[in-house]
Structure 1
Amino acid sequence: MRTEDLIQSLSADTRAIPRHADRRRVLMGLLVGSLATLAVVVFGMGLRQDLPGAMMTMPFMMKWAYSISLGVLALVATLHVARPDAPPLRTAWIVVLPVALLMLAAIAELATARDDVWMALWMGSSWRECSMRVALLSLPIFAGLIWAFRQLAPTRLRTAGAAAGLAAGGCAATLYGLHCPEVSATFVVTWYTLGMVLSAAVGALLGPRLLRW
């Protein structure tokens, strides 16, 4: 068989892929995983009793803006590396920007607070479980993104896993904020960030195994 004939026979049954199919699949995985995590937060942990009023306060908005911005930036990176022909991700440093801004807010917070409340601002009342809860809540979302990735054939597997893990961590931190009463910038930039970093680390570790094709 000639090479031209072989190529024609292999491509005879191929179907045209709808435009933005990769984005829709990733967003579907994100949505399904987020709904599962939301169910755990609502029915397993419970919402803050003062949630309607708290959501209108600046500290709560700050916390959500931080986790949402990290999640969105990581999701953009996830969509970028989902393609098998994805070029190197040269703008990944932008993810550091929300962290740097919140660190500045934390420094200002500590500078204007009395010395005897610094520890309370940093540790809050839930530092022991906060990071681990964020990391665990990210698992359903991470699973949804991995499901999407396995149909998209990424080639940069460790990068794809880390991006998916960070996106899942950002979404999980946002949903966990519906339960968590902590709103100190110092607390959030320490323990929420640690939870998201753990999620990204798990993604980088498991990515090459789960996404291999």
Structure 2
Amino acid sequence: MKTDHLIELIVQDAPVRSNLTHMLQQATIASILIVAIAFFFAIGFRPDIDNAMETARFLFKFVITIALAATGSIAMFRIGKPGVPLKLSAWSLLIPLIFAAGAAIVELSVMPAATWGARMIGHNSRLCLTIIPLLSIGPLACFLLALRHGAPTRPGLAGAIAGLASAGIAATFYAANCNDDSPLFVLLWYPIAISAVVATGALVGRSLLRW
């Protein structure tokens, strides 16, 4: 008998300790509150936020990060339930990347080639690589604890997706502080910071979510 099928049978026979969807909903609310408190008390908005909000490049960063948080959360809500198909949710995770790549292509087509390198490197790469992972700690802990009430058949993958959702929330708040609005910067540095959170989630989830 395959392991996945065995787990599904066990879940069907086991008493339900709590509703996973409800737990993840509560974890999502808690995660947003944790990140918001940390952001507003320790980081805050960029000084020119009023002017930045009038630019499409600044606003489009939120389209990318919110798409990441949303698609990551949808996949996370499904992966803790054995037998629930993940294919569509997995493909949806490409949406934020498509948005970022599309915006980068537009920028490359309208900006002089001589400026591409500077726009990609930006001024805040260290902050990006630091703040996003730090802001993700609280949400990742909340999501992993919530997923323990489910029955993920692939603990490492479940942890990775929890990390992706956590990083999406963190990146959305960080985008309001980051004054590097170039899609080239977003496409380079944000994924590096997010990957660190995903890797951490996979590592922790592999042991914490194991049956």
TM range (shorter): 0.7 to 0.9
> How many angstroms apart in 2 are the aligned matches of 1:161 and 1:16?
20
> How many angstroms apart in 2 are the aligned matches of 1:209 and 1:53?
46
Q: 1:114 is aligned with what amino acid?
A: P
Q: Give 1:212 shift.
A: 2.4
Q: Give 1:46 shift.
A: 2.3
Q: Give 1:109 shift.
A: 0.7
- TM-score with structure 2 setting the length: 0.84
Aligned to 1:61: 59
Q: Pick closer, same or farther for the CA change 1:146–1:16 going to 2, 3 Å.
A: closer
> How many angstroms apart in 2 are the aligned matches of 1:171 and 1:94?
17
Over the aligned positions, Cα root-mean-square deviation in angstroms equals 2.1
Find out whether 1:177 has 2:175 as its counterpart.
yes
Q: Pick closer, same or farther for the CA change 1:51–1:209 going to 2, 3 Å.
A: same
- TM-score with structure 1 setting the length: 0.84
Say which SS state the counterpart of residue 46 (structure 1) adopts. Answer: coil
> How many angstroms apart in 2 are the aligned matches of 1:150 and 1:97?
28
Q: Give 1:53 shift.
A: 4.1
Identity, % of aligned positions: 33
Query: Aligned residue pairs: how many?
Result: 197
Unmatched tracts of structure 1, length 5 or more: 1-10
Aligned to 1:7: none
Contact 2:17-2:149 within 8 A present in 1 as well: no
Say which SS state the counterpart of residue 45 (structure 2) adopts. Answer: coil
> How many angstroms apart in 1 are the aligned matches of 2:104 and 2:179?
17
Unmatched tracts of structure 2, length 5 or more: 1-12
Aligned to 2:30: 32
Q: Pick closer, same or farther for the CA change 1:16–1:209 going to 2, 3 Å.
A: closer
Please, which moves more after superposition, 117-126 or 129-138? 129-138
Q: Pick closer, same or farther for the CA change 1:165–1:15 going to 2, 3 Å.
A: closer
Contact 2:67-2:95 within 8 A present in 1 as well: no
Among 154, 157, 165, the alignment partner of 2:155 is 157
Among 53, 69, 72, the alignment partner of 2:70 is 72
Aligned to 2:110: 112
